[in-house]
Structure 1
Amino acid sequence: MTMIQKLTDGWKLRSCSTGQSFETKVPGTVYGTWLEQGAMKDPYWRDCEEAALAMMAGDYEYEISLSPDEALMGCRDIRLRFEGIDTLADIFFNGVYLGHADNMHRIWEYPVKSLMGETNKLKVHLYSPLSFIRKAYEKTPYDGAPEAMQGFPLLRKSHCSFGWDWGPRLPDAGLFREVSLIGVNQASICDVHIRQKHSGGIVTLTLNTTVEAAGDVACSCLLRITDPQGMSITYQMEGEKYQFSKAVTIKNPELWWPNGYGKQPLYQAEVMVAADGELQDSWSRKIGLRTMTVNTAADEYGNKFAHEVNGVEIFAMGADYIPEDCIRGRVSRERTKTLLEYCRDCNFNVIRVWGGGYYPDDFFYDLCDEMGLIVWQDFMFACAVYPLTPEFEANTAAEIRDNVRRIRHHACLGLWCGNNEMEMFLADNQWVRKPLQKTEYLIMNERIIPELLRQLDPDTFYWPSSPSSGGDFDHPNDENRGDAHYWEVWHGGVPFTDYRKYYFRYLSEFGFQSFPSVKTIEQFTEPEDRNIFSYVMEKHQRNAGANGKILQ
């Protein structure tokens, strides 16, 4: 059986600039550790953000001495797996350089069996993101949202951590997801793809499984499907060597519905691989039986844009989801569950994961499955132009593969979207220094990404940008086609009654900023700061002139 040893305790985190170090846990981050140790002030308090930002001008090192479990040492193959590194890192195992990480949205994995001893030292050197984007921008100036720091599009890191028109500049660093040693004996499961076909009240599930073997061994695969009542049926999967498949017919299926349209029953699919008569690895996921697409058919007004679930058009009600906290260690399943329960209880049925943050944890999608919240999933590109070099293309293609494979089985997944607001802004030549940058945009969002999705998830609807009318810079904010972003009431200062002039097919962004409650303001101000035009209140307002807009 595959052995997993999580490297959670026993880490030390050191500032390479000051030499200050603390014992810490992983997952974790620099800000999170320094806050826990009382070594920095809360970056949300008054103007403490500036001191926190300055911390990221230096490098940091994570280090751990580890003794592998006895069972792990007996495995034929041992891999070191990082679920999330934020962001630029060199990795060393017993002094041997394993590789360089440069994308927080990817999984990084390295073979270490030949390097493993009874005691081992793992070191991860994190480089300053501020230094990187400054030098990268000087060399290749690619621009984006003006509230963010120059150079942010040149690093595959949560863009809004460099500032946005709603948030601070707090580009934290760390090992923000699990680090593990994974031992493989004979074989392991490296990919499972579940597809559904609905016809005549019957659902056919087809599962395709790819197995990776440590040597030339004969493998077999079993599939177990468990219904919402806990009744299971096990099937022998068909295939040769390391590719297996099985089609399973489910009669009288219990269908998954969005919030307000029905229930959310979930089935469980489990794949087990064996070699030489012994279980080697297993893979288990919850799935919902449903059809899900977006209806863009022509009609008397233009073209529809409506989620269609089990043949029923859904009137979308929801909001955009941005990172819940600039300090990722504060985001937990319990906190996210409370937030999404509020959404469900307010009759939301859609959550749009906005493209300037990061791909949420698995539990986010699990909770959306359970609550009937359709997920509009942006890829992590937003309000910028990007250099489509061979290196950038390879890096982002790996990022897309990792996340599509991780998310595609979820019942809640409603669509993939190429980016946030790039087609709209580039159509007006915003941030465009040369025509090539618009060509790079089209290649990335209208060829590379959809081609990857045709390979990895051909059953989920793809939309090139938000807002868009379907791509190719064809009036991307059209009222009568596709989705729209309407911010004229806020940015343009027109009256609220202006909303009545429009009949948007799908309004994926709109709104008006409010001040937080007094209780919240008290958490980041002194009494003398509590005037909307005080230094501290203006410091916390990242949208130009916005406090005046609210007053007006």
Structure 2
Amino acid sequence: MIEMTLNGQWLMKKVDDSKWMGGEVPGSVYKDFLDNGIIPDPYYRDNEESIMKLSDYDYEYKRNFKIDCDMLSYDKVYLSCDGIDTLSTVEINGKEVLKTDNMHSQYEIEIKDFLIVGENEIRVVIYSPTKYIKLKNKEQFLWNTSDALKGIGHIRKAHYMFGWDWGPKLPDMGIWRDISLKAYSKKRIKDIYITQHHKKEKVILDLDISCENWENNFNDITIQVTSPDGESIEFKKENMSNKDKIQIDILDPKLWWPNGYGEQPLYKIEVILKENARILDKRFLRIGLRTLTIKQEKDKWGESFAFEINGIMIFSKGANYIPEDNILGRCNKERTKMLIEDCIDANFNTIRVWGGGIYPEDYFYDLCDKYGLIVWQDFMYACTVYDLNGDFKKSIEKETIDNVKRIRHHACLGLWCGNNEMESAWVEWNFPKTPKLKCDYIKQFEVLIFDIVNEYDPNTFYWPSSPSSGGNFDNPSSEAKGDMHYWGVWHSREPFTAFRKHYPRFMSEFGIQSFPGIKTIESFTLPKDRNIFFYVMESHQKNPTGNEKIFYYIAQNFKYPKDFESVSYTSQLVQAEGIKYGVEHWRRNKGRCMGAIYWQLNDCWPVASWSSIDYYGRWKALHYYAKRFFNPVLISAKEEGTLVKLHIVNDRLEDIKGKINWKLRDNRFNILEEGIRSVEIPRNSTGMYEELDFRKSLSNFNQKSKTYLEYELIIDRKIENAGTFLFVPPKHFELLDPAIKWDIEETTDEFIFSIYSIAFAKAVEIDTKEIDIKVEDNYFDISSGKVYKVILQKKDISKPISMKELRNKITIKSLFDTF
């Protein structure tokens, strides 16, 4: 087998233009226009509206490539297209060889008869997606979310590209993944599926291997398994049929665990197809040895819904992932790696790939394998009605098979989910509904896709929709079973305390918006634009009542911010405090609830949104809070007036001994009451370990407005987790000027901040001008007169910098500085 890449420099233009320009493959139309200086940044100010019109045109790409006699001596030569976005025709030497209609599918077509020795030309014409959906929706109306252009259910293109309540209407297009020629002689490996059987002290691997054989003879297969330690073992089987099985025993197996539960050892599987000594084809897979499914069993609350890994049910902690850019040509492995590492730094063990985007690149799953993130994988359907007609059905069958076969071997894959919110939409939302389309929903998500998953990946759990209680429109938002999306806080303006009214079995969506930080806002605005209600800022807020709701929640919790920068800061505190309130509640109820996956992890452009990490990779307050509230061992306070119960959650797989240390303080750090208690916390458990009654100390509002509770869990003489609790909303607490002072020292790999205040300081923020940093802790409370130490790793600074330069760029403030 030989492969020739067609990636690299192409020529591109509008179909109706005469002038060609350079284009990059993989890439996209918008990126090529940007690279050629034809258009300004689509994300700057309100450029979105004018640049969206580029999608009303058709485009063509072309390039030449040379073919030698050697390649044409092979029996078969295929054109392999890993991703064309979306509607296209492909020509080789002026003859059409392929039509595409699905961005999410991989296309392969035999083209040997169209090739010649010497110079050849490939031409790809990509047709306007916006004209297509407009025409199709005029022929047949299909409802979709009002945040997107109408008609997106007619096209198998990432829905978010057409607009969402956090994303722009910029439906880019192009050859967005690898394109190549592959030549084979006599036979090739068509498919490999691995099933694991876990036994005492060994794992048995069943490899189902399918070959395509053009000579109808038998196949000789060699399999090499390389352990995480680098030790290799080889297995051979001769005279195999075109569909056959090889069984391999892995002795003393090293199990794969999600982050926080163990290591992530990976085994390399190499399958080689030979004839005599000649290698005809080979495939590489990396797998983790584990059992992973959803545990559903009846209990006193209904029916459980929890990931079970290697026989242990775990509480899932994470966020919803959306595509990292609206211009997919800007995405790359290094950017995704930083994002996944940020998840690990914040103690995630799970990530949900949301159904309105794309099936991510292979390296996304490789990184999740490497770092230990369980992937909840939606199929790419969201908030849209679909007509299961013949052409559409054929297209999505191929899409489903392609992606199941591509992703299924990954250790990180936890479940397949049919769609985002369409079952609940049919039951709970108000849109035009017909019996035929409702029936199509069942056929598509509970029959067709279920059957494909059952055939091609029977070892992975399938869930029909999110949220769902199991399908068939049976109370999809039930708290007794399945997963739940809860948007009463935010969309219905319910207070944070409303989170505690809900006890889902698995919370897979909930969220609160915030503005990005000032550096990100400066990236898309002029100084005159920096008013939340100016049209440029409003163009970067896609939720119709988003700014209003942000201010509503600020008003519920904080004093009126004194300036624009303070609005950004307090909005992030609202978001972080609110999500913390919900997560701590659900973690305290571990066993009943077994997951808290907030909306959302990241952004696809600079915008006001629900993300905890903005478009440029800058952590908002929420992500620093997540690092604390997703800590494997969590201490949290549940208040009922002046009664406070301290709970501890232990996600570790070993028992813990420690001490609870608490102090009731006034706003000048004076201790009013204090206590210490030794505790023993069983493995993988939750419980209430201290009950405090402050009725005497906090008998009136004046006392409550000057008093806070400081609590911490000490393990092995170190603070494992800690927090503070105010007995009134922060806006009613009498914050004094903390007069924060700070210093910095340098070691070989770190800068160390020493921060001190003379009074209680809420949500202390360390930020920088001009450069980006990611500190060990941020948006923290200084709750005693002790010096607070914060480490900044030099690797977490956007560019090399001296201590003197860093000192001049650092800004430190707290909530007191915002009013």
Give TM-score scaled by structure 1 length.
Answer: 0.98
The letter of the residue matching 1:243 is: K
Contact 2:219 2:238 in 1 (8 A): no
| Residue number in structure 2 paired with 1:414 | 414
Q: Which moved more, 1:130-139 or 1:431-440?
A: 431-440
Post-superposition shift, 1:436? 1.3
3-state SS in 2 of match to 1:268? strand
Contact in 2 for aligned 1:4/1:180 (Cα 8 Å): yes
**Distance of 2:90 and 2:446 partners within structure 1:** 35
1:436 matched to 2:436? The reply is yes
Aligned pair count reads 551
Distance 1:393 1:442 in 2: 13
Distance 2:69 2:6 in 1: 15
The match for 1:538 is 538
Contact 1:221 1:274 in 2 (8 A): yes
- Cα 1:418–1:216 shift into 2, 3 Å: same
CA contact (8 A) 2:31 2:327 kept: yes
Residue 317 of structure 2 is aligned to residue 320 of structure 1: no
Structure 2 Cα separation of the partners of residues 277 and 173 of structure 1: 44
Report the alpha carbon displacement of residue 238 of structure 1 after superposing the two structures with TM: 6.0
Distance (whole Å) between structure 2 residues aligned to residue 110 and residue 495 of structure 1: 56
**Quick one: structure 1 residues 239 and 150, their matched pair in 2 at CA, closer, same or farther if it must change by over 3 Å?**
farther
- Tell me, in whole angstroms, the C-alpha distance in 1 between the residues paired with 2:18 and 2:423: 45
Instruction: Tell me the SS of whatever aligns to 1:385.
Output: coil
Q: Match for residue 71 of structure 1?
A: 70
Give SS of 1:210's match: strand
The answer on whether the counterparts of 1:186 and 1:275 sit within 8 Å (CA) in structure 2 is no
Deviation at residue 454 of structure 1 after TM alignment: 1.2
User: How far apart in 1 are the matches of 2:344 and 2:277?
Assistant: 46
State the 1:212 CA deviation.
1.2
In structure 2, distance between residues paired with 1:238 and 1:73 = 29
Give the counterpart letter for 1:282 in structure 2.
Answer: K
CA distance in 2, matches of 1:25, 1:329: 9
- Structure number with the bigger relative contact order (C-alpha 8 A, sep ≥ 6) is 1
Q: Is residue 159 of structure 1 aligned with residue 138 of structure 2?
A: no
> What's the counterpart of residue 403 of structure 2?
403
> Are 2:218 and 2:239, in contact at CA under 8 Å, matched by a contact in 1?
no
**What is the root-mean-square deviation in Å for CA atoms of aligned residues?**
1.2
Tell me how far 1:235 sits from its aligned partner.
Answer: 0.7
Q: Which residue of 1 aligns with 2:284?
A: 284
Q: What do the CA deviations read for 1:76-128 (whole angstroms, capped 9, x no partner)?
A: 21111110000000111111111210000001111111111121111111000
* Change in 2 beyond 3 A, CA 1:29/1:332: same
1:16 is matched with: 15
Deviation at residue 319 of structure 1 after TM alignment = 0.3
Q: Distance in 2 between matches of 1:20 and 1:166?
A: 36
Question: Does the Cα contact within 8 Å between 1:184 and 1:214 map onto a contact in 2?
Answer: no
Instruction: Give the Cα separation in 1 of the matches to 2:198 and 2:2.
Output: 37
Post-superposition Cα deviations, 1:204-238, rounded to whole Å, max 9, x if no partner, equal 10101111123344421111111111111111136
Identify the residue that residue 85 of structure 1 maps to in structure 2. 84
**Partner of residue 307, structure 2:** 307
AA partner of residue 136 (structure 2): A
Give yes or no for the alignment of 1:463 onto 2:463.
yes
Partner AA of 1:415 in structure 2: L
Letter in 2 for 1:56: S
Per-residue deviation, 1:478: 1.0
Deviation string 1:126-148 (CA, Å, 9 cap, x unpaired) is: 00001100000011111111111
Q: How far apart are 1:189 and its partner, in Å?
A: 1.0
Structure 2 contact 419–465 (Cα < 8 Å) conserved: yes
Aligned-partner Cα distance in 2 for 1:237–1:485: 50
Secondary structure at the aligned position of 1:97 is classed as strand
Mapped to 2, the partners of 1:214 and 1:522 lie a distance apart of 61
**Secondary structure of 2:419's match?**
coil
After superposing the two structures, state which structure 1 stretch, 195-204 or 480-489, moved more: 195-204
Larger C-alpha radius of gyration, 1 or 2? 2
Aligned to 1:94: 93
Structure 2 distance, partners of 1:8, 1:40, is 24
Other structure's SS at 1:551 match = helix
Query: Within 5 Å, which residues of 2 pair with 1:120-131?
Result: 120-131=120-131
Gaps of 5+ in 1: none
Displacement of 1:70: 4.9
Which amino acid in structure 2 is aligned with residue 507 of structure 1?
A: M
CA distance in 1, matches of 2:24, 2:73: 27
TM (norm. structure 2) is 0.66
Counterpart residue number, 2:2: 3
Separation in 2, partners of 1:9, 1:498 = 53
1:305-345 CA distance string (max 9 Å, x none): 10000000111000000000001111111000000000011
Query: Which has the larger displacement, 72-81 or 101-110?
Result: 72-81
* Letter paired with 1:75: Y
1:194 aligns with 2:194: yes
* Equivalent residues of 2:92, 2:120 under 8 A apart: yes
Q: Partners of 2:364 and 2:289 in 1: how far apart?
A: 19
Q: Is the 8 A contact 1:273 1:279 kept in 2?
A: yes
Partner of 2:135: 135
**CA distance in 2: counterparts of 1:52 and 1:131, whole angstroms:** 15
Instruction: Measure how far apart 1:481 and its partner are.
Output: 1.0
Letter aligned with residue 97 of structure 1: E
Identity of aligned residues (%): 45
Q: Is the 8 A contact 1:28 1:174 kept in 2?
A: yes
Counterpart position of 1:49:
48
Instruction: Answer whether contact 1:224 1:269 (CA < 8 A) is retained.
Output: yes
Assess if the C-alpha contact under 8 Å between 1:381 and 1:420 holds in 2: yes
CA distance in 1, matches of 2:509, 2:466: 9
Question: Structure 2 counterpart of 1:245, which letter?
Answer: K
Q: Distance in 2 between matches of 1:239 and 1:413?
A: 33
Where do 5+ consecutive residues of structure 2 fail to align?
A: 553-819
1:35 aligns with 2:38: no
Give yes or no for contact 2:221–2:240 (8 Å, CA) kept in 1.
Answer: no
Could you tell me whether the CA contact under 8 Å between 2:369 and 2:410 is conserved in 1? yes
For 1:289, the aligned partner's letter is L
- Cα deviations by residue, 1:435-486 (Å, 9 ceiling, x for unpaired): 1111110111111111111110000001000000011111111112111001
Report how far residue 71 of structure 1 moved: 3.4
Deviation at 1:20, TM superposition (A): 4.4
User: What secondary structure sits across from 2:491 in the alignment?
Assistant: coil
Range 498-507 or range 13-22, more displaced: 13-22
